[in-house]
Amino acid sequence: MADFTVSKNVAAMHGSSTMIAAQMASEMRAKGIDVIDLSVGEPDFDTPDFIKALAVEGLNAGLTKYTPASGLAQFRKSIVDFYGKEFGAVLSPHEVAASCGGKQALFNAACTLLNPGDEVLIPKPYWVTFPEIVHFCQATPKYIETASNDFVLTAEMVEAAITDKTKLLIVNSPNNPTGRVIPKDELIRIIELCASRGVYVITDECYLFFAYPPAEPFSSAVLPNEVRDHVCVAGSFSKTFAMTGWRIGYTIANAEWTKAMVKLQSHSATHPTSFVQYACAKALDNIDATKAAVDSMTAEYERRRDWLIPELNKVKGFKCGMPEGAFYAFVDVRGLLGEKYASSAAVAEAMLKEAHIVVTDGEGFGADGFLRISYATSLENLNRAVNAMKELFGTN
Ligand code: PLP
């Protein structure tokens, strides 16, 4: 075998901890065990039919060739129009670029901004990819603890964490893994503070539309230009339209930042799939159909949430606040820790081995003592899983 030494940039990254649970589940399934998977980070719904039909339409129209690296002009215009109609944002197509999912949007944004030694503020708990992108850029993650405010970031927390080396803050609201939503006014205060201190902000709006009343979707794309100059919105179709496999997302950032991201992308993925861009552009143009599809998924997640959280709180040792968005319950299991279970990882392992339920240990999100339970699965599965949890741990 060749003497292969991985690059320092990649050696500094860790593997995805959320994949470990999925891997264990698939091994058990291969042995014929009926596993209930509550570790999934993707909608259980299929992509709406009208979007699938639009992709076929795009293919038949001959959209099978390269597009500009920034995406089809039609795609960028549809994003601009949609954000205008939906949120009242005033954007220019030069501020929009298509990407292969929200993940590449985040990567493009961070890699075009960060230099070795820069500090990046990341609120804890965090989505697993945030620190790894920062490591890849040879920058330094600086974590902000949010537990004192029930996992909701505040401007005061950010203010206390900013140093001379702070270049960037990464926020994600609605949040994976906590399901918490930063109130609109607080998020604006956070971003205004950062902009006034010369700190950039990447707002990961991948769960934007999954905010349950009274929480509401708020996009940083509506901020005035002098603030938005410091902001990159990382957007995605993956969760909103149940399109995880299509790999399509976008960035909204100032024209110079966008140009740099397009340059980077032009030497890597080039652009997301041509007819997928077409389908997404046409879907956004049909705002009624789009909103109806999203609203029905949001209502179903809300119904599951409303059933699940009170049930989880009946399980002995579980404590779970009401998530305001996304599709995750973030359960405090510290009440179970002691002689029998040394850590939340041990709790997750017992759930898998003894009750055949897959959940994600909080440690990978920087929150030992917690479990992330996804409700992107049917109420029937949730019901079976909760019964098995009650049997395993007992009830209050
Ligand atoms: N951001 C967050 C917080 C996520 O949870 C995910 C996916 O799980 C993504 C971004 C990336 O999604 P995608 O690359 O599929 O758009």
Cα(268) to centroid of ligand 1, in Å?
Answer: 19
Closest-CA residue, ligand 1 atom 12, reads 102
pLDDT band at 193 (very low <50, low <70, confident <90, very high): very high
Per-residue model confidence as pLDDT tens digits over 332-362: 999 999 989 999 999 999 999 999 999 999 9
Q: What is the pLDDT of residue 17?
A: 65
Pocket of ligand 1 (CB under 6 A): 41, 101-103, 127, 172, 176, 204, 206, 236, 238, 244, 249
Closest CA to 100 of 307, 211, 247, 252: 247
Closest-CA residue, ligand 1 atom 1, reads 206
pLDDT band at 26 (very low <50, low <70, confident <90, very high): confident
Cα(335) to centroid of ligand 1, in Å?
Answer: 30
Q: What is the pLDDT of residue 1?
A: 67
Cα(206) to centroid of ligand 1, in Å?
Answer: 6
| Contact present, 103 and 129 (Cβ < 8 Å) | yes
Per-residue model confidence as pLDDT tens digits over 296-312: 999 999 999 999 999 99
Cα(244) to centroid of ligand 1, in Å?
Answer: 9
Closest CA to 211 of 190, 170, 250, 239: 239
Closest-CA residue, ligand 1 atom 8, reads 41
Q: What is the pLDDT of residue 277?
A: 98
Q: What is the pLDDT of residue 18?
A: 66
Closest CA to 108 of 68, 143, 85, 136: 136
SS3 for 142?
strand
Place of tokens 């897959």: 358
Closest-CA residue, ligand 1 atom 2, reads 206
Peptide bond into 174 cis (omega under 30): yes
Residue percentage of the chain with pLDDT more than 90: 92
Mean pLDDT of 228-254: 97
Mean pLDDT of 175-199: 97
Compute the mean pLDDT over every residue in the chain, rounded to the nearest whole number. Answer: 95
Mean pLDDT of 367-376: 96
Please give the backbone phi and psi of residue 295, each rounded to the nearest 5 degrees, phi first.
-60, -40
Cα(337) to centroid of ligand 1, in Å?
Answer: 31
pLDDT band at 23 (very low <50, low <70, confident <90, very high): confident
DSSP strand pairing (328-332 vs 36-37): unpaired
**b/e code 308-346 from CB counts within 10 Å (16+ = b):** bbebbeebebbebbebbbbbbbbbbbbebbeeebebbbe
Q: What is the pLDDT of residue 36?
A: 94
Residue percentage of the chain with pLDDT more than 70: 99
Q: What is the pLDDT of residue 24?
A: 79
Per-residue model confidence as pLDDT tens digits over 103-154: 999 999 999 999 999 999 999 999 999 999 999 999 999 999 999 999 999 9
Mean pLDDT of 308-324: 97
Cα(181) to centroid of ligand 1, in Å?
Answer: 16
| Contact present, 201 and 231 (Cβ < 8 Å) | yes
Q: What is the pLDDT of residue 13?
A: 87
Residue 103 CA: which ligand 1 atom is closest? Answer: 14
Mean pLDDT of 28-40: 91
Q: In the predicted model, is pLDDT for residue 165 greater than 90?
A: yes
